[in-house]
Amino acid sequence: MSKKALIEEQTLPAAPTEPLPEDNGCPLIVKEEVDEHPAVTALLKKYVCGQACQVWLGMLWLFFAQISDVLYPLQFGLILDYLTAAELSGDKADPNYTKVNWMVLWLILILLVSAVFRGLQGELFVRVSVSILNKVRDDLFWAIMCKDTKFFDSNKTGELLSALTADCEVIQNCFQMNIDMTVSSLYVLGMNTTIMLFLSPTLTGWTFLSMTPLLVMIMFYAKMYRYFGKETQLRKKALSNVSQECFANIRTVKTFASEQTEAEKYEEYNL
């Protein structure tokens, strides 16, 4: 059997065909058609919308930070233009560079404002992501506990532990990093597009037209990234199962001197 087939055997089976009795407060579970990708919209509605105020406040801080990032090169360019014009014209009206000093002070103020808003946004997103992660783990643990004994017979302990740890951390990283980067990129794109349209609409059109092949490559890369991410998660589950079984039955492993066999099995999934 191929290595990929062995890893795919570690995935969780489908939900039971018969509904579980509603006992001990456990919800009634009925088999449903599950999409290949989990309901991301439902996930956002259930967990992110509960933190809507904090999320929008974080977006606002991020917006102010992006404005400061755009104003920084503008102010720096104004300083260079002033110094260059004064040097070329031989103007000695400001020998002490009083105006330049004020321009530099404004530049420092812009940097400080950007750092403050960036720090507020980062701290807020971290708190929201941790809160969402805790809720996801609580719901997942509750859903697992509501399963019948057949579910635990057909699913290994290491696999369930991996779902509670590694899989949940993927959701946290998605919100903490990916959403932050996506929103920042959209802000920068909108600001740069506005400036480019103001300077030269024709050049802006040609620029976006030349970016079409790049967008196609990005879509292809995103699909490949999603595929390799799924393979990585399956390998992590397989590694967790192998190590869990080995450590749980360490006396048997030692009795039959199977250390090398277990190490080779772990190395096979770790490639």
How far apart CA 271 and CA 250 sit, in angstroms, is 23
Average of per-residue pLDDT values in the chain: 75
SS3 of 115-144: HHHHHHHHHHHHHHHHHHHHHHHHHHHHHH
How far apart CA 195 and CA 67 sit, in angstroms, is 13
CB 107 within 8 A of CB 82: no
Sign of the dihedral defined by the CA atoms of residues 223, 226, 232, 238, in that order: negative
pLDDT tens profile 228-237: 877 887 787 7
Q: By mean pLDDT, which of 22-26, 149-153, 207-211, 232-236 is the weakest?
A: 22-26
- What one-character DSSP code corresponds to residue 34? P
Q: Output the pLDDT for position 89.
A: 67
pLDDT band at 96 (very low <50, low <70, confident <90, very high): low
CA 117 to chain centre: 20
Among 15-24, 115-124, 176-185, top mean pLDDT goes to 115-124
Q: Output the pLDDT for position 37.
A: 46
Phi/psi for 213 (5° steps) reads -60, -35
Residues sharing a CB contact under 8 Å with residue 12, sequence separation 6 or more, in sequence order:
155, 159, 163
Indicate if the pLDDT at residue 42 is higher than 80: no
Between the alpha carbon of residue 102 and those of residues 70, 77, 96, 155, 225, the distances in Å are: 19, 14, 11, 67, 48
Which CATH superfamily is 38-210 part of?
ABC transporter type 1, transmembrane domain (1.20.1560.10)
Indicate if the pLDDT at residue 112 is higher than 70: yes
Indicate if the pLDDT at residue 188 is higher than 60: yes
pLDDT band at 95 (very low <50, low <70, confident <90, very high): low
Domain residues of the chain, as ranges?
38-210, 211-271
How far apart CA 162 and CA 74 sit, in angstroms, is 49
Q: Output the pLDDT for position 271.
A: 67
Indicate if the pLDDT at residue 180 is higher than 80: no
